[in-house]
Amino acid sequence: METLSPRTNRKFKDIGYYAEQQSNYFLLPFRFHRLNDDKEVLVNEVGDHLVVPLGTAGRIIQRQLSIEEDADLYGDLVAGFFIAEQEVPALIDVLATRYRTKKSFLDQFTSLHLFVITLRCEHTCHYCQVSRVTTNKDEFDMRYEHINKGIELMLQSPSDYLTMEFQGGEALLAFDKIVYAIERTKPLAAKLEKQVTYVICTNLAVLDEDILAYCKTNNVLLSTSLDGPGFIHNQNRRRPGNNSYELTIKGIELARKWLGTGNLSALMTTTNLSLDHPTEIVDEYFQQGFRSIFLRPVSPYGFALKNEKKNKYEIERFINFYKKALHHILDYNKRGEFFREEYATIILKKILTPFPVGYVDLNSPAGAITNVILFNYDGAVYASDESRMLAESGDFTFRLGHLDTDTYGDIFYGEKAQALSEVMVNETLPGCSECAFQSYCGADPVHNHATQGSVWGYRPTSTFCQKNMELIRYLIELMDGDPQTRQIFEGWISQRRAS
Amino acid sequence: MPKYSYPIMLLTLRMFLITHTIHVIAKMENQNHIEGNSIFAYADERLFSKEAIFKCLYWYGDHFHTTVNINDGYYQLQLTTAQEISREELKLFLQKLERDLIDFNLRDMVSKETQNVRDLLIAKAFSNGELDEDPPGEISDPVGFSVYENKG
Amino acid sequence: MIFRAKGIPTGVNDLIVGVITRNPDHHGESLIWVGDEFNYGSYIAHLSCQSIEASIVPTIANIQALDHLSDGDIVSIGQDGIVRTVYRVNSFYNTILATERCNSNCLMCSQPPKDRNDIPYLFELYRRVIPLIPKDCLELTISGGEPTLMGEYFFELLELITRELPKTDIHILTNGRTFAWNHFAERLAQIGNPRMMLGIPVYADYYQVHDYIVQARGAFDQTILGLHNLARYGIRLEIRVVLHQQSIPRLSRLARYIFKNLPFAEHVTFMGLEYTGYTPHNIEKLWIDPYDYNKELTEAVEFLAGQGMHVSIYNAQLCVMPERLWGYARKSISDWKNDYLPACQACSKLHDCGGLFTWNLKKCSAHIQPVFEDVNLLTS
């Protein structure tokens, strides 16, 4: 309630007059984490961070701060929603709006719909456990009635912006079915006023100009795989003739000629071989004209599953690889090039912006189901891409239903989905609930189940936790230590540079 | 320098000696140490919460079998190696444990102290403004103004 | 620029508001005739530099000069014989002074508030002025004092402008504090004018510094809540930051605070200090040579612009700032208060530069110097 207390005069008062007449302050929810031997980072409930000297959290919590002697820090803490001078802070409604904004990726619910249009492939990549080299279309291509039902479910999503992504096998081996699916979706989506982005994941080996002409007309985006220079790519991605790299590069050039640079992206998968060649892989991406690279760890499904010691070693190797590659990427930036790493960009967006970042693997609630759903070639419905990989090795934990028998409600709100929702929120997971990086990280029950045999997971040995904890810590440390790096990172997250 | 009167100084000195002596005795009995394959650590029940102890020990479960007892006002923590660990490494683990105990206790203090405001925050975040607070402070100029009056 | 003329009134019994004309063929209901000879027609008043013996309409005679008035300008005439210019037809910078009352008392206020209730009078004045403003008027600024202290009159004024001048941009300069009360923001939203934008000052990310600068307890919290309430209704917002000794130390933090907590702002402006009003009195607390805050300003501007926000620098001279900021500098100073130093005449960038406030000629950066083509002394 406002009060009517007119001032007696307009005499200027000094700054001390404007401090709240409070003998002490109240804590707001925040978490902290040791950054290195000198510093720690504080993170508030909406993900804003503040790097401070080691021991500061203790001083704050034990009320050892002095408003006068720690004036700057005290101001930072009040302004940054770490402490407040009232029990319910004056700006709590602003903080609530920010919390809502951060979680607003939920409003749209599932947007990414993966269609495994065929399991057939002409590659025999050694890290792939699902594809088949076969000409048996009847058994390994998605049937028309399943495509129809998948589209029907997709269009029931509350989201106005949908992504329909065709995967394989090698999706282009069933290009006729892709065309069928897109042509069927177009009028239905238009009627419902939903915007659909079409993406084909392909190794580009069987790409031709007819396909590209269709993609161009229908604004279909292509996503390909490039694991690095030829000696790595061809080793990872086996095919008759050992020419996967050459075909990919040829395909990239051809696709760019038709679609423009922006409509073709590439993903890399890190393998044991890659781990020794971070700079070569980064250079390869740069030389091929890419201005971003996504350094993805070896998928847990390539790991010796449930072998904790080996997994830990593998993830340490990956972290070292990642850091070396990241430094090399930063060197390009320091020479004035724009070139960003996508995983860092996702994390940095969570650290530095007030906006929601809906990346499937780093969401809480988890991205599986709430963000992504997968329709397999045989009509089975899975919570994510990883879920169907598990299924290929006989584990059907994350099979949510089947297109022949189940309704939208059965799949998205069924028993399995409900059971999963318990472990999809890292705010309540052991080890995560107190973690300073909670709001930058996510919950991944599928990964937990695959690597640790429990959807809850066990953080001390979790490779997911080891990787994210260290990478997030490292990114904050880099930013804090070097203003130029901070500027480069701020450039990566910019709304202006969407490339 | 604040000026203390003589009796107060005396009292302060006595208090210091008493607490210091208690501290030293406690230390002798409950000194953190390594014995064989085990780390023994102690935490004063009056200072450390149960939640902090367990949340801290959670992170040691990959290397150790852990047990907790309460004895004479102290948590007694025993961490026994699950695999072979060198004595040097054990010392580092003990040092980390001592740090972590304090950190997790601090975290628990924040959790408990901010429970209400955190609940309120989340309730507000998922409400439609019906829980909004009245704005703070005064708004008027010297002439007199109220946001609830119709004409200025 | 002259906004006020005085003469000897005859037959002025009430406030008169009308449009200046010297064209004898021009007749209309709200016209005020300017000329030494009276032109018979339907005028509501007559202004003259000569003495007038007898007149059939209210008259102000013996005015020293009337050259400052153009045909089409709108003036008010009071019983005291004062002719005030309230709208200048040939200017882009027309301001409605809503009130001189204010609930803040900023250290650097350029128009110090007055503690008397001028609102009924000013509302009545503008109620009559607004319908006379040409319909092609591009922009009107509503300023104060604090305009929202008009209460319901504030909204009525805006409704009148919206009705009479649907093609005019309305720029309201307010401290935003009243909008902390949601019903105030909701009431503004009901006006539903998409050409309306509110310019609201935020001087620091930390309440104590902001409250000190605006000399009002609780102002920061109210302003931030106000901004959020306004954003909730999609009202267009500009954040205004005045650069001086008190705001510079936390400027970089403020930029980040704006991006995180006020990302809905359509425009963020950083403004040089005006040496007028309260400023000379408080100059010891406020002055910092703009050259000496280039580092802080560059960081703040480039951070916000880098995140895709629209950023401008007002009241600043190109030669004082690094060349990388030139693209953000605007010629923002209203024509009638805009000037340059003698040294500026030799500058190759004179026409791109916003120059100075007339009253800043005596208090400006020590680093103002002509920029010569191809030789920039500051790029190194």
* Residue B145 sits at the chain C interface (C-beta within 8 Å): yes
Residues A146 and A94 in one domain: no
The residues in A 378-397 lying below 8 A from B, measured between CB atoms, are none
Instruction: Tell me the backbone φ, ψ of residue A41, rounded to 5 degrees.
Output: -115, 135
The string of pLDDT tens digits covering residues C87-128 is: 999 998 899 999 999 999 999 999 999 999 999 999 999 999
Residues A64 and A76 in one domain: yes
CB contact under 8 A, B110 and A459: no
Residues A328 and A472 in one domain: yes
CB contact under 8 A, B145 and C149: yes
Closest CA to A20 of A70, A72, A80, A86: A86
CA distances from B25 to B21, B29, B35, B75, C343 (A): 6, 6, 21, 16, 80
- Residue-range definition of the domain harbouring residue A201: 109-299+371-415
CA distances from C115 to A132, B29, B76, C374 (A): 84, 73, 70, 53
Distance CA C296, CA C125 (A): 43
- Cβ-count burial C137-175 (b if 16+ within 10 Å, e if not): beebbbbbbbbbbbbebbbbbbebbbeebeebbbbbbbb
> Tokens at residue A110, please?
């599932």
Distance CA B125, CA C201 (A): 26
Q: Which amino acid is at B94?
A: L
Residues A135 and A258 in one domain: yes
CA distance B21 to chain A (A): 24
CA distances from A326 to A46, C307, C325 (A): 27, 22, 30
The string of pLDDT tens digits covering residues A113-147 is: 999 999 998 888 877 777 777 777 778 999 999 99
Of residues A4, A61, A92, nearest to B106 (C-beta): A61
Using the 3D structure, point to which of A71, A102, A133 is the last residue of a domain: A102
| Pairing of β A26-27 and β A83-84 | antiparallel
Q: Which fold has domain B31-125?
A: Alpha-Beta Plaits (3.30.70)
All residues of chain A having their beta carbon less than 8 Å from the beta carbon of residue C112 are: 10
- Helix, strand, or coil here: A198? strand
Distance CA B108, CA A58 (A): 12
Distance CA A219, CA A163 (A): 12
Closest CA to A25 of A95, A69, A72, A81: A81
Return left, alpha or beta for A206; rule: phi > 0 is left, psi -120 to 50 is alpha, else beta. alpha
Other CB atoms within a 10 A radius of the CB of residue A299 amount to 18
Tell me, yes or no, whether A136 lies in a domain. yes
Of residues C116, C178, C182, nearest to B139 (C-beta): C178
CA distances from B89 to A461, B103, C66 (A): 18, 21, 93
Residues A195 and A175 in one domain: yes
Of residues B129, B136, B140, nearest to C103 (C-beta): B140
* Residue B129 sits at the chain C interface (C-beta within 8 Å): yes
CB C294 within 8 A of CB C322: yes
Q: pLDDT tens digits for chain B (152 residues)?
A: 344 445 455 555 555 555 555 554 445 568 999 999 999 999 999 999 999 999 999 999 999 999 999 999 999 999 999 888 899 999 999 999 999 999 999 999 999 999 999 999 999 998 887 777 788 888 899 898 988 875 54
* Residue A93 sits at the chain C interface (C-beta within 8 Å): yes
Contacts of C310 (CB under 8 A, 6+ apart): C266, C267, C268
Length, in residues, of chain A: 499
Distance CA B3, CA B5 (A): 7
CB B147 within 8 A of CB C181: yes
Tell me, yes or no, whether A8 lies in a domain. no
Residues A253 and A390 in one domain: yes
Q: Residue C17 is inside which H or E element, if any?
A: strand C16-21
Distance CA C170, CA C239 (A): 15
DSSP string, chain B: -PPPPHHHHHHHHHHHHHHHHHHHHHHHHT--EEETTEEEEEEETTTS-HHHHHHHHHTTTTTEEEEEEEETTEEEEEEEESS---HHHHHHHHHHHHHHHHHHHHHHHHHHHHHHHHHHHHHHHTS-STTPPPPPS----TT---TTSSB-
* Residue C102 sits at the chain B interface (C-beta within 8 Å): yes
* Residue A87 sits at the chain B interface (C-beta within 8 Å): yes
Work out the angle at residue A74's Cα, subtended by the Cα atoms of residues A69 and A79, and round it to the nearest 5 degrees. Answer: 155
The string of pLDDT tens digits covering residues A397-450 is: 999 999 999 999 999 888 888 888 888 888 889 999 999 999 999 998 988 888
Model pLDDT, residue B10: 52
* Residue C283 sits at the chain A interface (C-beta within 8 Å): no
Instruction: Tell me the backbone φ, ψ of residue C331, rounded to 5 degrees.
Output: -85, 90
Residues A34 and A160 in one domain: no
Distance CA B152, CA C120 (A): 8
CA distance B106 to chain A (A): 7
Model pLDDT, residue A1: 43
Provide the CA C27 distance to its chain's centre, in angstroms: 32
Residue of chain A with shortest Cα separation from B134:
A1
The string of pLDDT tens digits covering residues A435-489 is: 999 999 999 898 888 888 889 999 999 989 999 999 999 999 999 999 999 999 9
Other CB atoms within a 10 A radius of the CB of residue A385 amount to 21
Residue ranges per structural domain of chain B: 1-27, 31-125
CA distance B148 to chain A (A): 10
Residues of chain C with CATH 3.50.30.10: 4-85
> Tokens at residue C15, please?
């406030």
Residues A127 and A246 in one domain: yes
Model pLDDT, residue B18: 53
All residues of chain B having their beta carbon less than 8 Å from the beta carbon of residue A430 are: 58
> Tokens at residue B95, please?
């040092």
Question: What is the Cα gyration radius of chain A?
Answer: 25
- Cβ-count burial A82-100 (b if 16+ within 10 Å, e if not): bbbbeeebbbbbbbbbbbb
Of residues C221, C282, C306, nearest to A91 (C-beta): C221
Closest CA to C5 of C48, C58, C55: C48
Question: Any idea what DSSP says for residue C293?
Answer: G
The string of pLDDT tens digits covering residues A195-212 is: 999 999 999 999 999 999
Other CB atoms within a 10 A radius of the CB of residue C220 amount to 29
Q: Residue A84 is inside which H or E element, if any?
A: strand A83-84
Q: How many domains does chain A have?
A: 3
Provide the CA C181 distance to its chain's centre, in angstroms: 25
Model pLDDT, residue C266: 97
Closest CA to A129 of A308, A277, A339, A269: A269
Residues in chain C where the model's pLDDT stays below 70: 374-380
Return left, alpha or beta for C12; rule: phi > 0 is left, psi -120 to 50 is alpha, else beta. beta
Tell me, yes or no, whether A10 lies in a domain. no
* Residue in the block written with tokens 């990280």: A441
Closest CA to C142 of C224, C267, C278, C156: C156
CB B151 within 8 A of CB C153: yes
| Sheet containing A30-34: order of strands | A30-34, A39-44, A49-53
Model pLDDT, residue A261: 87
Residues in chain A where the model's pLDDT stays below 70: 1-8, 21-22, 298-309, 495-499
CB contact under 8 A, A354 and C259: yes
Distance CA C8, CA A296 (A): 85
* Residue in the block written with tokens 């309440």: C207
Distance CA B16, CA B66 (A): 36
Of residues C103, C115, C232, nearest to B139 (C-beta): C103
Q: Which fold has domain C94-360?
A: TIM Barrel (3.20.20)
CB contact under 8 A, B125 and A99: yes
Distance CA A142, CA A177 (A): 8
Closest CA to B125 of C148, A255, A46, A29: A46
Using the 3D structure, point to which of A102, A124, A150 is the last residue of a domain: A102
Please give the CATH architecture assigned to the domain spanning C4-85: 3-Layer(bba) Sandwich (3.50)
CB contact under 8 A, A460 and B140: no
